[in-house]
A and B are shown apart, each in its own frame.
Chain A
Amino acid sequence: MSEEPAAEGGTAPAVEISGLRYAFGARAAVDGIDLRVAAGEVFGLLGPNGAGKTTTIRLIVTLLPCPPGSVRVFGLDAARERMAVRRCVGYVPQQLSADGALTGRQNVALFARLYGVPRAEREERVARSLSAMGLEEAADRLAGTYSGGMMRRLELAQALINRPRLLVLDEPTIGLDPMARAVVWERIGALRAETGMTVLVTTHYMDEAEQHCDRVALMSLGRIRALGVPAELTAGLGPEASLEDVFRACAGDSLSFLDAAGGDARDIRSTRRTASRLG
């Protein structure tokens, strides 16, 4: 397991989680995880449906309540300093959440207002966010006419409007065709190169994580089973090994395990709905 990169200039880690647990009734969705994401890295949370990835990031972005001190974002306590955490986070949920009845520009302007972007800067910031995602030409079209990849990039533009230090993406490429997936990752990479922001991403796609993440954590049944740089994790299993092999080695792949980890009906319905909306 490799250490996370040293934080630049002694800044606090982008995310610091210690002993985090969260249960829905009797079912533990997150079962005691410890994690540090360094400022500036692209970090992937991987695992099947029901592994606890989405619950973990919902705790990080303050959508779910967590015990004081268990989740810190750039040193801010997600339980006690929720407003301050929200100001430095951009969040894109798994579902296609842009409003098809509004234009791309109106979708982004809505979030500019909700984040309190001053009126004098608003128009320019909205235009810059749309342009960073390659949507300047489609900005005044109804978002309902966008392709799946464009919708995802529009959501990224919405999440960028408050210049977040931490961008949290829940399955950003689910249901997209390979070309659209490549474009989304290309834009995320360009953003990170330009701004140095931290990106925390969950994904089912191990190949994407291997290619685009600096470090990954493999989760199943609410626990982190492996953590490190993708190349180092796979190297331990041989030259041809993939992250999928690492995952199988850590968590096993028996039918009973897969049944337990396959996610509940709501997870799967949400994933299928997103995939079907993306066509």
Chain B
Amino acid sequence: MTSEAPAARRAGSAERIRWRLGVGPVWALCLVELQKVRHDRTELLTRAIQPALWLLVFGVTFTRIHAIPTGDLPYLDYLAPGILAQSALFIAIFYGIQIIWERDAGVLAKLLVTPAPRVALVTGKAFAAGVRAVIQGVVILALSAVLGVSLTANPLRIGATLVVLVLGAGFFSCLSIVIAGLVLSRERVMGIGQALTMPLFFASNALYPVALMPAWLQAVNRVNPLGYEVDALRGLLLGTPAHLALDVMVLLVALAVGVTVAAALLPRLTR
């Protein structure tokens, strides 16, 4: 009994430190996302339709007509990591609408009245978007394998793929929260989100190699985090040459900036 007391104190103290670092709120918000998916799986299926169509219709057709030169790599293989990144982008870019809904429902006010740091709350939201992206990513990877895409079987590489997906979805969800914090209305977030999604997607290497792009689009791709995400995913899943360290660094920095700016703007939504 006496030896248990200091151990319990140590455990309690470790928990307090972890809490102060903000792990508690991040985990809490991710867990909620998993619980929601568990209660209602229909969203996963409906959201999987669009990437499935890209792979089945666009990917299979363009593989047959050889319209886009991808070297020795079949076009469907080239496309699969791009569609993976695109699905994470589509999930994340509308997270701002969820934040506006949470504001209107009083949820955001309740979250902001807890002692959880703003940065931890936004990081939690970002990782929650990542959780959804990962779940959908697993569906797309399975579909890609069924369609004959030569994916890596290395569990470490697949694990790293999912980490990259989380970072990408995290950044784009923060971008969406930043937009929500600036424009404050659901309709505007939706409009800006839609206006951003396609340029981000087309100004990246998701559908075609960077070398085929005009110079100005290549310049846009260089500042587009989606391009770095696709590069990393392609390198990890297909073993193509990639700048993994740079890609991950760009995504980490983008996420850190996104979290910081979104956390600063969050209280604007409840005023």
Q: How many A-B residue pairs have CB under 8 A?
A: 87
A103–B38 Cα gap in the complex (Å)? Answer: 11
Residue of A whose beta carbon sits closest to that of B39: A101
Roughly how many angstroms separate A142 CA and B28 CA in the complex, as a whole number? 18
**When the two chains form their complex, are residues A97 and B107 in contact, meaning their CB atoms are under 8 A apart?**
yes
Q: Which residues of A contact B16 (CB under 8 A)?
A: 116
Chain A residues with CB under 8 Å of B267's CB are: 63
Number of interface residues of B (CB under 8 A): 32
B39/A102 in contact, CB under 8 A: yes
CB A130 to nearest CB in B, in angstroms, measures 16
Q: Which residues of B have CB within 8 Å of A97?
A: 105-107, 109-110
Chain B: minimal CB distance from A267 (Å): 13
A92-147 contacts to B, CB under 8 A, are 92-97, 99, 101-103, 106, 110-111, 113-116, 118-120, 142
Please tell me if B46 contacts chain A, counting CB pairs below 8 Å: no
Closest beta carbon of chain A to B271's beta carbon, Å: 6
Query: Which one, B56-64, B74-82, B113-121, B200-208, is touching chain A?
Result: B113-121
Establish whether residues A106 and B35, one from each chain, have CB atoms under 8 Å apart when the complex forms: yes
In whole Å, how far is A79's beta carbon from the nearest beta carbon of chain B?
14
Complex interface: stretch among B19-27, B131-139, B164-172, B250-258 = B19-27
> Could you tell me if A110 and B113 are in contact, using CB atoms closer than 8 angstroms?
no
Residues of B within 8 A of A103 (CB): 39
A70 at the interface (CB under 8 A from B): no
With A118-B12, A119-B15, A270-B104 known as contacts, the answer to whether A63 contacts B109 (CB < 8 A) is: yes
Q: Give A58 to B112 CA distance when docked, in angstroms.
A: 11
Contact A114 B40 (CB under 8 A): no
Query: Which residues of chain A (225-279) have a CB below 8 Å from chain B?
Result: 270, 273
Separation of A118 and B112 alpha carbons in the complex (Å): 20
Q: Chain A's nearest CB lies how many Å from the CB of B250?
A: 31
- The answer to the question of A165 belonging to the interface, with a C-beta cut-off of 8 Å to chain B, is no
B15–A95 contact, CB under 8 A?
no
B36 within 8 A of A: yes
A126 to B105, CA, bound (A): 22
B218 CB–A CB distance under 8 Å: no
Assuming the contacts A86-B114, A87-B115, A142-B39, asked whether A95 and B104 have C-beta atoms less than 8 A apart, the reply is yes
- The prevalent SS among residues of A at the interface is mixed
Complex: A106 Cα to B29 Cα, angstroms: 11
Task: Say what secondary structure dominates the interface of chain B.
Answer: helix
Q: Does B70 contact A (CB under 8 A)?
A: no
CA A58 – CA B109 in complex, angstroms? 9
Once A113-B24, A113-B25, A118-B12 are accepted as A-B contacts, the answer to whether A99 and B115 lie under 8 Å apart by CB is: no
Question: Which residues on the B side are within 8 Å of A270 (C-beta)?
Answer: 104
Instruction: Give the chain A neighbours of B113 by CB distance below 8 A.
Output: 61-63, 86, 89, 91
0/1 interface trace, chain B 153-181, chain A, CB 8 Å (1 if under): 00000000000000000000000000000
Query: Are A102 and B109 within 8 A (Cβ)?
Result: no
In the bound complex, CA of A94 to CA of B270 (Å): 13
Residue pair A106, B32 in contact (C-beta under 8 Å): yes
Determine the distance from Cα of A1 to Cα of B122 in the docked complex, in whole angstroms. 46
Q: How far is the CB of B28 from chain A (nearest CB, A)?
A: 3
The yes or no answer to A7 lying at the interface (CB within 8 A) is: no
Inter-chain contact B109/A110, CB cutoff 8 Å? no
Q: Which of B107, B114, B267 has the most CB of A within 10 A?
A: B114
Residues on B with C-beta less than 8 A from A93 are 106, 109-110
Complex CA gap A62/B32 in Å reads: 25
Q: Does B111 contact A (CB under 8 A)?
A: yes
Nearest-Cβ distance from residue A5 to partner chain B, whole angstroms: 26
B235-262 with Cβ < 8 A to chain A? none
Q: How far is the CA of A61 from the CA of B113 in the complex (A)?
A: 6
Shortest A9–chain B CB gap in Å is 25
Docked-complex contact B270 and A114, CB < 8 angstroms = no
- Bound form: Cα–Cα A95–B102 in Å: 10
Chain B residues near A95 (CB, 8 Å)?
104-106
Task: Let me know if A6 is at the binding interface, CB within 8 A.
Answer: no
| A93-B106, A103-B39 known, 18 other contacts, Cβ within 8 Å | A24-B271, A63-B113, A63-B270, A64-B271, A86-B114, A86-B115, A91-B109, A94-B106, A95-B104, A95-B105, A97-B110, A102-B35, A113-B31, A114-B115, A115-B114, A118-B12, A142-B39, A162-B114
* 23 CB < 8 A contacts A-B: A24-B271, A58-B109, A58-B270, A64-B271, A91-B113, A93-B106, A93-B109, A97-B109, A99-B107, A102-B32, A102-B35, A103-B39, A110-B31, A110-B32, A111-B110, A113-B24, A114-B25, A114-B115, A115-B115, A116-B19, A120-B12, A158-B110, A273-B104
Interface residues in chain A, defined as those with a beta carbon under 8 Å from any beta carbon in chain B: 24, 58, 61-64, 83, 86-87, 89, 91-97, 99, 101-103, 106, 110-111, 113-116, 118-120, 142, 158, 162, 270, 273
